[in-house]
């Protein structure tokens, strides 16, 4: 299954049915008067969020959603039938925007959340509605009101408590695979992560949270360079960002420069992203190069009032302390991360 996180669709609600112009004609009932019924309501186009969906893939193959019009009114004051709604099911975390203006219309962040993307038209009134003492034979009725129609864009933003960010090949996927059941692709070359991955982290008897791994960021990501810009939206909802660094590279790189580079890209992408709480950690602690440079890097970050954690995803050293710090920063009022998902969900969504 491909990971599709954007879609543009056309929605058209049903028109209201026409009101009826009719007069009662029965034996022994002279001048029965008007008895035209009202038209029925057109169907709505409804977007519903569901935990059963993971991507917007289905909407790539079907882009037009049109509801039926309401039934027309009939004689004997019979009202036309209301049309059924057309339902579009999307993953939880989908943002609905107007395709022309970009205006946010709805943010479906809960299972079962519903948004009426296009409202059906009301049925027209039949001529029986217009009979008065001075107008006893109305020979007109109302047409149905047209249903709403528009193009909307859908953007999927994954719901994760912790978003993992950093340069390519710093060990983000390795860490996620260590602490959760997710199995992202891991290799010794950059950009092995091509799509976001979610994992459920179980810590202790009851504590759990959802972690999201996105492709690595590079300088100029906010301008579309690399792949991270495309998926940065998936950590916008995260309560905490886990910023991973790699200080084992040869030739040595400045960990502080890498840290400021990524944060600059976050601020340029969204000012709110730059203000999110971060936990900074250096991985690959099992490598001699990391241990040899660790103290100097810790001192550099300490001078800027930033606590640097160190861990090894290979051996597990330092991982419990890092998880404890992350859990302490996640707001307690957030809903349980594992609710509605198994410990092994969601798994890798292959490109």
Residue 247 placed within a domain: yes
Residues 219 and 287 in one domain: yes
**Kind of pairing, strands 6-12 and 149-156?**
antiparallel
Residues 48 and 172 in one domain: no
Burial class (CB in 10 A: 0-12, 13-18, 19+), 217: buried
When pLDDT is cut at 50, 70 and 90, the band that residue 130 belongs to is: very high
Residue 340: which residues within 8 A CB-CB, separation 6 or more?
Answer: 51, 111
The pLDDT value given to residue 184 = 54
Average pLDDT over residues 4-20: 91
Residues 114 and 262 in one domain: no
pLDDT per residue as tens digits for the range 159-212: 778 888 888 888 888 888 888 876 654 444 444 444 567 777 877 665 778 888
Residues 148 and 251 in one domain: no
When pLDDT is cut at 50, 70 and 90, the band that residue 56 belongs to is: confident
**Kind of pairing, strands 86-91 and 94-98?**
unpaired
When pLDDT is cut at 50, 70 and 90, the band that residue 330 belongs to is: confident
Q: Is the pLDDT of residue 220 over 60?
A: no
Q: Is the pLDDT of residue 68 over 50?
A: yes
pLDDT per residue as tens digits for the range 221-244: 545 555 555 667 777 778 899 999
The pLDDT value given to residue 227 = 53
Residues 105 and 238 in one domain: no
Q: Whole-angstrom distance between the N-terminal and C-terminal Cα of the chain?
A: 7
Count the domains in the chain. Answer: 2
When pLDDT is cut at 50, 70 and 90, the band that residue 345 belongs to is: very low
- Domain C-terminal end among 156, 172, 207: 156
Half-sphere exposure of 275 (CA within 13 A, CB side): 3
Q: Determine the Cα–Cα distance for residues 264 and 272; give it in Å rounded to an integer.
A: 12
Q: Is the pLDDT of residue 342 over 50?
A: no
b/e sequence 159-181, b meaning 16+ C-beta within 10 Å: bbbbbbbbbbbbbbbbbbbbbbb
Residue 337 placed within a domain: no
Average pLDDT over residues 41-52: 94
Residues 135 and 170 in one domain: no
Burial class (CB in 10 A: 0-12, 13-18, 19+), 127: buried
Q: Is the pLDDT of residue 106 over 80?
A: yes
Residue 342 placed within a domain: no
pLDDT per residue as tens digits for the range 256-305: 998 998 888 888 888 888 888 999 999 889 899 989 999 999 999 999 99
pLDDT per residue as tens digits for the range 305-317: 999 999 998 898 9
Q: What is the CATH number of the domain that holds 237?
A: 3.40.50.300
- Return the higher-pLDDT residue of 102 and 206: 102
Q: Is the pLDDT of residue 219 over 80?
A: no
Residues 150 and 24 in one domain: yes
Residue 265 sits in which domain range? 162-329
3-state SS assignment for residue 59:
helix
Q: Does the predicted TM-score (pTM) go above 0.95?
A: no
State the chain's mean pLDDT as an integer. Answer: 82
Query: Strand runs (DSSP E) across the chain, as ranges?
Result: 6-12, 45-50, 64-66, 86-91, 94-98, 104-108, 114-118, 149-156, 162-165, 197-203, 207-213, 240-245, 277-282, 308-310
Residue 263: which residues within 8 A CB-CB, separation 6 or more?
Answer: 243, 274, 278
Q: Is the pLDDT of residue 346 over 70?
A: no
Average pLDDT over residues 121-148: 93
The DSSP line for 239-298 is SEEEEEE----SS---HHHHHHHHHHHHHHH-HHHHTSEEEEEE--TTSHHHHHHHHHHH
Residues 139 and 169 in one domain: no
- CA angle in degrees (0–180, nearest 5) for 328-258-173: 60
Cβ contacts of 285-294, under 8 Å, gap ≥ 24 = 285/310, 285/311, 285/312, 285/315, 285/317, 285/318, 286/312, 286/314, 286/315, 286/317, 287/248, 289/247, 289/248, 289/249, 289/250, 290/247, 290/248, 293/247, 293/248, 293/252, 294/247
Q: Which of 290, 268, 176, 187 is nearest to 222 (CA)?
A: 268
């Amino acid at each position: 299954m491909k990971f599709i996180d954007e879609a543009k669709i056309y929605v058209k609600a049903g028109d209201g049915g026409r009101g009826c112009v009719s007069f009662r004609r029965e034996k022994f009932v002279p001048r029965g008067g008007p008895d035209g019924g009202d038209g029925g309501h057109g169907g709505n186009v409804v977007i519903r969020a569901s935990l059963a969906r993971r991507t917007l893939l289905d909407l790539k193959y079907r882009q037009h959603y049109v509801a039926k019009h309401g039934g027309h009114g009939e004689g004997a004051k019979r009202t036309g039938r209301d049309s059924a709604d057309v339902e579009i099911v999307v993953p939880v975390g989908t943002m609905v925007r107007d395709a022309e203006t970009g205006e946010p219309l709805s943010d479906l962040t809960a299972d079962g959340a519903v948004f009426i993307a296009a409202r059906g038209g009301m049925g027209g009134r039949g001529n029986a509605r217009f009979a008065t003492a001075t107008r006893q034979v109305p020979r007109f009725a109302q047409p149905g009101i047209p249903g709403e129609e528009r193009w909307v864009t859908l953007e999927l933003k994954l719901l994760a408590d912790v978003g993992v960010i950093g340069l390519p090949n710093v060990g983000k996927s390795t860490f996620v695979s260590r602490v959760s059941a997710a199995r992202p692709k891991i290799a010794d070359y950059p950009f092995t992560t091509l799509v976001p991955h979610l994992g459920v982290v179980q810590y202790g008897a009851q504590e759990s949270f959802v972690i999201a791994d996105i492709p690595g960021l590079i300088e100029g990501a906010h301008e579309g360079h690399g792949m991270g810009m495309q998926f940065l939206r998936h950590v916008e909802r995260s309560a905490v960002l886990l910023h991973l660094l790699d200080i084992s590279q040869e030739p040595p790189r400045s960990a502080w420069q890498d840290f400021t580079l990524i944060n600059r890209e976050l601020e340029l992408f969204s000012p709110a992203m730059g203000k999110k709480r971060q936990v900074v950690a250096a991985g690959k602690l099992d490598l001699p190069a990391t241990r040899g440079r660790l103290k100097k890097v810790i001192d550099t970050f300490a001078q800027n009032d930033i606590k640097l954690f160190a861990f090894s995803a290979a051996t597990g050293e330092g991982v419990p302390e890092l998880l404890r710090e992350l859990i302490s920063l996640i707001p307690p009022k957030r809903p349980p991360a594992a609710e509605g998902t198994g410990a092994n969900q969601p798994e890798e969504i292959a490109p």
